[in-house]
Amino acid sequence: MRKARPLRIAVIGGGPGGLYAAVLLKRLDPAREITVWERNAPDDTFGFGVVLSDETLGGIEHADPTVHRLLQREFVRWDDIDIGHRGQTLTSGGHGFAALGRRRLLEILHERCESLGVRLRFRTPAPPAAELAADHDLVIAADGVHSATREAHADVFAPRVTTHRCRYIWLAADFAFDSFRFEIAETEHGVMQLHGYPYAADASTVIVEMREEVWRAAGFDTCDEQQSTERCAKVFAEVLGGRPLRGNSSAWTAFRTVVNDRWSHGNIVLLGDAAHTAHFSIGSGTKLAVEDALALAACVEEQPGLPAALAAYESERRPVVESTQRAAAASLRWFEELAVHTDQPPRQFAFNLLTRSRRVTHDNLRLRDPAFTDAVERDFGCPPGTPPMFTPFRLRGLTLRNRVVVSPMDMYVGEDGMPGDFHLVHLGARALGGAGLVMTEMVCVSPEGRITPGCTGLYTAEQAAAWRRVTDFVHHHAPGTAIGVQLGHSGRKGSTRVMWEGIDQPLDTGNWPVSAASPLPYRPGVNQVPGALDRTGLAEIRQQFAAAARRAARSGFDLLELHCAHGYLLSGFLSPLTNRRLDAYGGSLENRLRFPLEVFDAVREQWPQDRPMTVRISATDWADGGTTAEDAVAVARAFAAHGADAIDVSTGQVVAEERPEYGRSYQTPYADRIRNEAHIPVIAVGAISSWDDVNSILLAGRADLCALARPHLYDPNWTLHAAADQNYTGDGAPWPLPYRAGSRKPPTGRTDAPKPRLTLG
């Protein structure tokens, strides 16, 4: 039976995505009647050059060789990225780019549409999508970031539009850069940056970007297009060789990230910037739109009907787009916080910029440009043949042999606060696995300070003796591995079930009273209303922390971490969402810090002076009105001033209504900012899953140590296996003598057998 394919198609918007969708759908079925509405003239275009990846070009070649052939004739190609900063230019090669003029791209697509019989209606605003939907089989809304279609049906598409903190302007220069160029200008008004790349033999795109406050301070907010163009050319005169810039109806704007819960509504479907945007610093807008067009045409061809086709299109494209948007968001934020990084050593700054989106990593940058990567490693202090993760790091009197930390992970198998055989085996196995530092779960300072009945403590001498059994094992059987204890109090998140019985859910029986900065339950109507601590209660808890620190020292721990994150007691004092006190412990950040700092001082006084102390914080609450990144820097500085040796930078889990922005290494930017702004060592944590991520984070100067949790549950020997994968056999990751025979991967069956060369009948 013939598939029911749409025959009458309306395309709203004549950008590359809409035009290419029309080309493909017409080519797949010449009987289709396809009309493209474009409000502007054929030769109107805003912007200059377009960058496409080899992957996108491969899809175009497969779908329409004619368009691919025409594009190939126009492309300017180059391999290098140049980074200019403080009078020095550093070059990294092997990247591979292809670009052409946006106007020429549109001309090619116009010509292809006309040759196939697609109707192009220029200077004609499209009728509303709902009106077109009534007499067309399919309506493709490719009407851009300000999509009228998306807004008209916002109740269905559920768009979320986020406006960001930088202003930028698209300009052009009448000469060709010989690379992708990033130029940093530190002006009296603040940091400005130029992103430039060639798109023709005699022309380059130039984007100038800066923070909103820098833009205003520099007076760009009162400049017209000509004045802005002239002033940008003056700021970047050296890299431009004194040549002018030109605009094309160019205006300063703030980037807007567009996300939609749904991409289709009946027979109306969103495509390109109407559906999603990704910051220009990873060159993805046209690429995503063209790939959308390829996927949409393929799904319409393959699926039995339009509803199935649109569902398949969104299912195929959404994961790709979300991944790109995560990378773009990381890149965007890096440039928003550019001023934090400008004091880094030149090559580290360049490496940090190149790896900002997390798509380029230490390992693949080494493949692209080994000489550049070797130079960055030498500057970092890596001995020959030593990956960054296996360089030592010193905290006070403790030298860690490598930069890998087994992150604190609650196990919920204690009995009356006692660690048992499980903790010995769990922590002992990870110590044998090669990490430089192994951390306990949050060890509670009182019975009432436990999260669950399965949490361990350090509030009795018997518990201290049980922990001594664990530290003795680590020191004897995994010499060189340090073991740290994390001390904490559950606060309002206590008296709940163990994780696998219902995380943060109250106990059915046997509940104990909980306390907090303010009488605010974690989940109203679900969790207990905590008692607000008075002066007597605060003093008692300070003493409990101090006593637990004394026991921890006697138990033989090498490092102590104070848990001030994740909505537990001390975190509850720090966050304005959970601290509503009217006394000296509430209100301003200085006041909210008061009790956590008092506890820190009490613990530091009892903890041996030669042993380091770290503090885990939630650098953001992921909720409106909560802790900000600026607050986190101030919190880190305060603890550093009181003697903290490093800050363990986590995020969230403070309020139930949080909306985290998950993704690979998603918490690292907060560690990066604290390290480079507060100038204190930091531990990065959160979805760091590969040794390549660890090397990249360290080499870029985003963190000094990396804490991994789930990877160490999956593989207790994660660090040793990371060493084996990198052919590293040095002192940073020695195999325990009984395990040394397993230090090489076991052989597997051959997969490279000769393939048949003859077929005999």
Q: Give the DSSP H or E segment for 724.
A: helix 718-725
Nearest to 259 by CA among 309, 313, 314, 334: 314
Residue 232 sits at φ, ψ, to 5 deg, of -65, -40
Tell me the H-state helices in 64-211. 65-74, 102-116, 129-135, 148-152, 154-157
Residue 457, SS3? strand
Here the tokens at position 48 are 């200059």
Contact indicator for 690, 358 with CB cutoff of 8 Å? no
Residues 6+ apart with CB under 8 A from 17: 142, 271, 272, 273, 286, 288, 289, 290, 292, 293
Catalytic residue list contains 739:
no
Here the tokens at position 738 are 């009984």
**Strand 8-12 relative to strand 33-38: parallel, antiparallel, unpaired?**
parallel
Please tell me the distance from the alpha carbon of residue 491 to that of residue 547, in angstroms, as a whole number.
18
Contact indicator for 3, 309 with CB cutoff of 8 Å? no
Write a three-state SS string for 594-645. HHHHHHHHHHHHHCCCCCCEEEEEECCCCCCCCCCHHHHHHHHHHHHHCCCC
Q: DSSP secondary-structure letter at 750?
A: -
Q: Give the DSSP H or E segment for 737.
A: none
Q: What is the rounded radius of gyration, in angstroms, for the C-alpha atoms of the chain? A: 29
HSE, CB side, 13 Å, CA atoms: give it for residue 586: 16
Contact indicator for 32, 55 with CB cutoff of 8 Å? no
Identity at 70, one-letter amino acid code: L
Please tell me the distance from the alpha carbon of residue 106 to that of residue 164, in angstroms, as a whole number.
29
| Through-space distance between the first and last CA atoms of the chain, rounded to whole angstroms | 37
Here the tokens at position 712 are 């160490």
Here the tokens at position 315 are 């299912």
DSSP sequence for 335-381: HHTHHHHTTS-HHHHHHHHHTTTSSS-HHHHHHH-HHHHHHHHHHHT
Please tell me the distance from the alpha carbon of residue 626 to that of residue 564, in angstroms, as a whole number.
15
Residue 448, SS3? helix
Say which of 20, 313, 412, 568 is annotated catalytic: 568
Residues 6+ apart with CB under 8 A from 535: none
Burial label, 623 (beta-carbon count in 10 A; 0-12, 13-18, 19+): middle
Residue 646, SS3? strand
Contact indicator for 449, 406 with CB cutoff of 8 Å? no
Which residue is associated with the tokens 């009790």? 595
Residues 6+ apart with CB under 8 A from 497: 452, 503, 505, 506, 507, 508
The DSSP bridge partners found for residue 171 are 206
Which residue is associated with the tokens 């963190």? 703
Identity at 562, one-letter amino acid code: L
Please tell me the distance from the alpha carbon of residue 558 to that of residue 560, in angstroms, as a whole number.
7
Contact indicator for 381, 713 with CB cutoff of 8 Å? no
Task: Report the C-alpha dihedral over residues 291, 362, 637, 536, rounded to 10 degrees.
Answer: 80
Which sequence positions are flagged as catalytic? Answer: 568
